[in-house]
Structure 1
Amino acid sequence: MARPNRFFRFLLTVTGVIQVPFVLAAREALHRVGTSEIVAWLGGLALGAVGFFAFVGRARNIMNDVKRPYARVVLEDLPYYVHWCACLWCLVPSILYVLIAPAWDLAHGRSPELRGGFFMWTYAAGLVVCGYGVTLRRWWFVVREIEIPVRGLDPSFDGYRIAQLSDLHIGALTPKAWGHRWVRAANAAAPDMTVVTGDMVTSGTAHHDDIADIVGALRAPDGVFVSMGNHDYFGEGEPLISLLGDKGARVLRNAGALLERGDAKMYLAAIDDTWTRRADMALALEGRPDGVPVVLLAHDPDKFDDAIERGVDVVLSGHTHGGQIAFPFLGRYINASKLAHRYHIGIYRRGDATLHVHPGLGTTGPPMRLGVAPAVVILKLRAV
């Protein structure tokens, strides 16, 4: 911590900035209960300082997520992150209010004034919305079934079911018990094959054994296959790969596996993480037989265009979490990940090729979801 990296400094800066609307909200609340102006200001500033330094105390877990008693997480960490997210919620409305309100007053012949009630009620609304997003919406997952047409797929594979899990981010804020709920849902769907498309880890290595237990509990006749994501290397990735193998999962790193139904064949391939420059798609596809449909596991959906050029039929990705925060009922079109990704959630088709970007199951960054449900996705391949 003596030499914080750029990302850490960015988080500290954001955390400091978003305390400003909270200070104004707290000042107004204290003033309304009868404290003097100076006491209200000092109290608001003190609460803002507590909010900032409480984040600094948690920052060590961002890049090295250690195990903590879940009761402590529920009683300490989750309430703090409700506050943090509520502060973030306040930021844009507060900036707009500061810019617009004085001009509005002047236009109506009044002296410019910033009314503390705006900040107080905006923060209060943020607590309600973010309390839902940090607790219930993160926990409440759905099971979704999607059909994918595959040209050239042998009728023997028509209706082939693939359970896809992605972005589990198991850690202190996303406990092992949640992972086993997802596993039970995936197994209950009776898939032919189950895949995990990366980012099983939040950060560090402390939760590797829990992740291996979760993935090892997945069941499918044709096996459980895993591709690695960038967070899986936030720490040492090799021990996790070994643990997964011990539990019966096949971690495909720039490699493939041939699936057969009598004389019919389908090729499953997976690339390693692109962010750490381990991915080699040419190597992953090297063993595919001519004329055989290919399903590719690629954590990063931005590899879809490259996969199309190489004749891949179906790409299964994750990484984006669908933004985690999206406009309700319009999450496909208005979500945070659209700012950085061309392919951000759901199904995309280019010619005969199909990409599915999984919405994820866990969270990173703010431990909150709004408008983007965690999901266990069952993909049914259809011969066309």
Structure 2
Amino acid sequence: MATPQVERTSVTIRGLPANAPPLRIALISDIHVAGPDMPPERLEEIVAQVNALEPDIVAIAGDLVSEKRTATHIYTPQQIVAPLGKLRSRFGTFVVPGNHDHWFDMPGLARELGANGITLLANEAVVAGPLAIGGLDDAYTRRADLRGTLAAMEGLEGVRIILSHSPDPFPRVPRGVPLMLAGHTHCGQVAYPWGGAPATMSDYGNRYACGRVDENGKTLVVGAGLGTSLLPLRLFTRPTIWLIELRGK
């Protein structure tokens, strides 16, 4: 598989100091640890690539594992999560559940995430540096509670952002939350060379399928993911790490 490409974008957000250095968020998603294409050894190399970007926050938008029938090896929760424990950032690593995580062993993954110092957010919120991060549980399996997550963010200090596995909750996110980060779509995984994809696993088709979307005063960034599901291949979609710089107005 190809080395992940680093996509960069800058988002200007009211509430951050205008004269401060930008806050750097590394977004990864859809790691799908499984043989043959994403063994833990390959994930360790990607973790080193993320650390070299020197992020302030690492956000993981779900689907740590793949239990696809074509897999040559299915790993344990400990083997899946251990490389992620080596991620380094100033304010921590935060992850939300994906549909494959629930289908595999969410309790086992949750135990290993906690043991490795990674914060799991499932319709919960936490302060990380100057941000208040709300983490949605998986919308694809109907576990997301946007209202409850927004309620959990009330009273927390910091600029509000949402981390979600699926991008589909984005239209319902209020304008008071200026940034949402997501994955799930793989940018199609198998895409057309001229853009777009025949399948995105999103109710909105290609509208929120890939990359940055600015809409109704809010910004959405959807990662292409790192691994694969169903089949261990990608076509016209490279694995991606997003580096998002937040700058104050």
Unaligned regions of 5+ residues in structure 2, if any? 69-73
User: Does residue 239 of the first structure (1) align with residue 108 of the second (2)?
Assistant: yes
1:178 aligned residue (25, 39, 42): 42
Residue 227 (structure 1) aligned with residue 96 (structure 2): yes
2:220 to 343, 355, 358: 355
Matches within 5 A, 1:239-278: 239-260=108-129, 265-278=130-143
1:277 partner SS? coil
The Cα of 1:266 is off from its aligned counterpart by 2.3
2:15 aligns with one of 145, 152, 157 = 152
Could you say which residue in structure 2 is the equivalent of 1:114?
A: none
Counterpart residue identity of residue 257, structure 1: V
Superposed, which structure 2 residues align to 1:337-352 within 5 Å? Answer: 337=199, 340=202, 341=205, 342-352=207-217
Q: Contact 2:99–2:140 at 8 Å: present in 1 too?
A: yes
Shift in Å, 1:223: 0.5
TM (normalized to structure 1)?
0.58
1:303 aligns with 2:165: no
Matching residue of 1:167: 30
Q: Please, which of 327, 330, 346 is the counterpart of residue 192 of structure 2? A: 327
Q: Please tell me whether residue 189 in structure 1 is matched to residue 53 in structure 2.
A: yes
Report the alpha carbon displacement of residue 214 of structure 1 after superposing the two structures with TM. Answer: 1.7
Once the two structures are TM-superposed, the CA of residue 259 in structure 1 deviates from its matched residue by 3.0
2:33–2:75 CA contact under 8 A, matched in 1? no
Alignment deviations for residues 10-69 of structure 1 (CA, whole Å, 9 cap, x no partner) = xxxxxxxxxxxxxxxxxxxxxxxxxxxxxxxxxxxxxxxxxxxxxxxxxxxxxxxxxxxx
Structure 1 or 2: larger strand share?
A: 2
Match of residue 110 from structure 1: none
Number of the residue aligned with 1:107 = none
Q: State the shift of 1:208 in Å.
A: 1.4
1:375 aligns with 2:240: yes
Higher relative contact order (Cα pairs below 8 Å, separated by 6+ residues) = 2
TM-align CA RMSD: 2.1
TM-score, structure 2 length as denominator? 0.88
Distance 1:374 1:267, change over 3 A: same
Q: Deviations over 1:62-84 (max 9, x none)?
A: xxxxxxxxxxxxxxxxxxxxxxx
Cα pair 1:160 1:382 within 8 Å, conserved: yes
- CA deviations on 1:214-252 (whole Å, 9 max, x unpaired) are 211111110011111101011221111011110110001
Alignment partners' CA distance in 2, 1:253 and 1:363: 23
Structure showing greater radius of gyration is 1
Question: In the alignment, residue 366 of structure 1 is paired with which amino acid?
Answer: L
Contact 1:157-1:381 at 8 Å conserved across structures: no
Distance 1:219 1:283, change over 3 A: same
Contact 2:139 2:168 (C-alpha < 8 Å) held by counterparts: no
Instruction: Quickly say closer, same or farther: Cα 1:338–1:251, change in 2 above 3 A.
Output: closer
Secondary structure in 2 aligned to 1:234? helix
Instruction: Write the distance in 2 (CA, Å) between the matches of 1:353 and 1:344.
Output: 16
Partner of 2:71: none
Aligned residues: 239
Q: CA deviation at 1:290?
A: 7.7
Over 3 Å counting, the alpha-carbon distance change for 1:244 and 1:259 in structure 2 is closer
Q: Give the equivalent residue in structure 2 for 1:140.
A: 3
More helix by share: 1
Q: Distance in 1 between matches of 2:241 and 2:156?
A: 32
